[in-house]
Amino acid sequence: MLNPERLIEDLFDDQRLSDAKLRGFSDDALLRMSFPDNNPGGIYSTLITDTTSKYNAFFGKMNNVAIKKAISEGLTVTMEASRTAVVNYISDLNNLVKFKFKNSPATYQEFYPLGMKEYYDADLSQLPTLLARIKAAANTHLLASNPAEVGELIALIDAFTAARTAQQTLFIEVENLSTGRREDRKALTLQLTTNMLTIALNNLGNADNYNNYYNPSYLPLADKVFTTSGIIAAGAILVAVNEGVFTRSSVLTVYNQGLNDLIYSITDQPGVIDPAHQFTVQAGEEKRVQGEIPVFEQYYINVQNPNPIDNGKWKVKVG
């Protein structure tokens, strides 16, 4: 019996659907929906506009997060280098403090109450307190006699403090962006679900036509055996089957359901026609591929329409 709850689920809200695959699926779906043959009379133009808006909101946000994460990683390197520099200088300063205050243990304790181990072992939440303490001790007991050493210590402490502050500020920005990014992803997946259900209603009883709009190889739950098909624009190259769907032992059947020749290619890169692994399928014909798949780490099936004027119709079955 049909479970009606499936009709109100977000079909694309699946943790196994990575951002990269969601992007590939969205790119592919938007392209397919935009073909005149798939959008007669502009019946899906509003869906295309809404999907494009949500796509840009999410993947623009994702790019912002990626950029800021890269910057934050760079700031972390800077901060760690600054931390190492200040702790090493405090270690070098230890000999001077020992010599100057060898007859005043209480003064030495103001600098190193637990020796250098305390500075080496301090985590990032503890270190600012320790640095403030040694900075105060240096200003009180060393500034008059050793201004250069105190100046160097303060400069290193200030550099660490600035690097740590910049890092923490960016961490907050990344977290804020990530929160918005999760909301934007949800908006996109709901829109894709709306698109799928709308197209399904318009193609009840006509599954082959419905397949013109979607490539299931991008989805996390693609079947072991599935069929995908679509329209390819004049002069275009597209990914018919994405990586992760078939292996060297798979049986492939490719079809040409249009009126002009198509070129198929099995490669390890998306959207590339490899001259060493390509074959032409003439209009109305099909080709079964078994036992002749090259050895790659990952596999794609790409299709090219060499006709400069007319669209083509392709279909691939993986079994």
pLDDT per position as a tens digit, 168-203: 887 777 666 666 678 888 899 999 999 988 998 888
pLDDT at 6: 54
CA–CA gap between residue 50 and residue 28 (Å, rounded): 16
Tell whether 296 is covered by a domain: yes
Same domain (yes/no): 262, 204: no
Same domain membership, residue 181 and residue 111: yes
Q: What is the CATH number of the domain that holds 281?
A: 2.60.120.10
Residues of the domain holding 49: 15-209
Do residues 261 and 280 make contact, with C-beta atoms less than 8 angstroms apart? yes
Dihedrals φ, ψ of 317, to 5°? -120, 125
Tally of domains in the chain? 2
- Least trusted range by pLDDT, from 135-139, 212-216, 224-228: 224-228
Query: Do residues 164 and 79 both lie within one domain?
Result: yes
Instruction: Give domain status of residue 53, yes or no.
Output: yes
Q: pLDDT band at 94, cuts 50/70/90? A: very high
Across the range 116-123, mean pLDDT stands at: 91
Residues 45 and 168 in one domain: yes
In the numeric block, the tokens 């190889």 are attached to 217
Boundary of a domain, candidates 165, 190, 209: 209
Mark whether 59 and 193 lie in a shared domain. yes
Do 191 and 222 fall within a single domain?
Answer: no
Nearest to 227 by CA among 251, 196, 199: 251
- Domain contains 140: yes
Q: Are residues 72 and 202 in the same domain?
A: yes
User: Is 244 inside any structural domain?
Assistant: yes
The mean pLDDT of 63-70, rounded to a whole number, is 71
Q: Is residue 10 part of a domain?
A: no
User: Among 157, 180, 209, which residue terminates a domain?
Assistant: 209
Closest CA to 203 of 51, 54, 49, 33: 33
37-55 pLDDT, tens digit per residue, is 889 989 999 999 999 899 8
Looking at residue 208, its amino acid is D
pLDDT at 118 over 80: yes
Q: Which residue, of 152, 184, 209, is where some domain finishes?
A: 209
